[in-house]
Amino acid sequence: MKTVAIYSNKGGVGKTAAAVNLAYLAAQNGAKTLICDLDPQSSTTFYFRVKPKLAGKAQGLTKAGKPIDRSIKGTDYPNLDLLPADLSHRSLDITFNAMKRSRHRLNKVLDPLAGEYDHIFLDCPPTITLLAENIFNVADLVLVPLIPTTLSARAHEQLLAFMRKQKYDPERVYGFFSMVDRRKKLHRDLALGMHKQFPHIFQTPIPYLSQIEQMGLQREPVPAFAPKSAAAKAYMALWAEVSKMVG
């Protein structure tokens, strides 16, 4: 089992779209896949037409064993299951904090699923607290969407510095460009500069495209409702790169 966390400490960077589409593509290729919606905004859950609710409330997620298993929902796509979001995830950070070995709790929760799934995707909330540290501990690959701007370059540098300081392996962190506007010269220039600054950035950029925004209306992954679209092709190319790391 390989775990991919889609993580950013900023909101609105195309994180959920990436998680949903990449998980869908992994499942389409035949891998048993689970996507976990850890974000209390529950966008992933919404995209899969599932109601956000968790059988055991937040304690269910933090205790290893049965409850997480019971909360999993089958999506409309073969090989793809979903762990829906729960509003009580808001309090996850507090819950983790109150427990021993609180930085490893998520490992414990996901371990029992190792036999069942080939891939687990974590759609993470924008935070750099204890939950984030749990995510860094559990993920084989931390995938960070980057909008080519000066601020996001700074934020990414801060993230890597934080990981080094806390002794997390920054080698597992990979970026990819998200919401790229090809018409903007600034985007092109900044992207070039960031490729030089950060060696771990995937080649495929995800452009800013209306099909991706339509996911909210269609409530389906892009390759499911527009398999030939530019957006679908971009995610396929990105998944081809990512799957080499976690395949």
Partner 1 sequence: MQNFLPFYATSNYDEIQLLETINSSMSLFKTESCIETLTYYDTFDWRLYHESLALVEGAGLYTLSRLNDGQRQASAQAGDKPAFVWDFPPGMLQNQLAPILQMRALLALAQVEKQAAAYRVLNEDQKTVVYLISEIMRLPQTDTESPLITRFRLKPVRGYDDQAQALALLLQEQGLVATGDDRAYTKIMQAARRAPGDYSSKIALQLEPAMRADEATKTVLRFLLLVMQQNEAGIKKDIDTEFLHDFRVAVRRTRSALSQVKRVFPAAVTERFKADFRAVGRFSNDLRDLDVYLLSETGYRALLPEILADDIGPLFTHLKRKRSQVLKQVRRDLESEQYLRIIQAWQAFLNEPSRDDPSAPNAGQPIINLAQARLYKIYRRIVKAGHQILENVADEKLHALRIECKKLRYLMEFFASLFPEDEIGQLVKQLKKLQDNLGDFNDLCVQEEYLLRAAAELPAAKAEPQEALLAIGGLISRLDQERQVVKADFAKTFTNFASPENQAHFKRLFKPQKKVAAR
CB of 159 to partner 1, least distance (A): 34
Stretch near partner 1 under the rule CB under 8 A, chosen from 9-17, 43-51, 96-104, 157-165: 43-51
Q: Which is nearer to partner 1, 57 or 219 (CB)?
A: 219
49 sits near partner 1 (criterion: CB under 8 A):
yes
Stretch of 68-76, 126-134, 154-162, 201-209 lying at the interface with partner 1 (CB under 8 A)? 68-76
Structure tokens at 2: 């390989």
50 within 8 A of 158, measured Cβ to Cβ: no
CB nearer to partner 1: pick between 195 and 219? 219
Residue list 203-242, contact with partner 1 (CB under 8 A): 219
**How many residues in the shown chain lie near partner 1 by CB under 8 A?**
11
Of the candidate residues 71, 95, 127, 152, the single one contacting partner 1 (CB under 8 A): 71
Kindly state the smallest distance separating residue 122's Cβ from partner 1, in Å.
Answer: 19
CA distance 109 to 57: 14
User: How near is the Cβ of 50 to partner 1 at its closest, in Å?
Assistant: 7
Examine residue 92 and tell whether it contacts partner 1 (CB under 8 A).
Answer: no
Question: Which listed residue (27, 35, 50, 106) binds partner 1 by CB under 8 A?
Answer: 50
Q: Report if residue 57 touches partner 1, rule: CB under 8 A.
A: no
**210 and 232 Cβ atoms separated by less than 8 Å:** no
- DSSP-assigned states of every residue in the chain: -EEEEE--SSSSSSHHHHHHHHHHHHHHTT--EEEEE--TT-HHHHHTT-----TTHHHHHHS-SHHHHHH-EE-SSTTEEEE---GGGGGHHHHHHTSTTGGGHHHHHHGGGTTT-SEEEEE--S--SHHHHHHHHH-SEEEEEE-SSHHHHHHHHHHHHHHHHTT--GGGEEEEE-SB-TT-HHHHHHHHHHHHH-S-B-S---B--HHHHHHHHHTS-HHHH-TTSHHHHHHHHHHHHHHHHH-
Identity of the residue, 55 or 240, whose beta carbon is nearer to partner 1 in the bound complex: 55
- Nearer Cβ to partner 1, position 49 or 90? 49
Least Å distance between CB 74 and partner 1? 4
Q: Which stretch binds partner 1 (CB under 8 A): 10-18, 74-82, 128-136, 145-153?
A: 74-82
User: Which residues are near partner 1 by CB under 8 A?
Assistant: 48-51, 71-74, 76, 81, 219
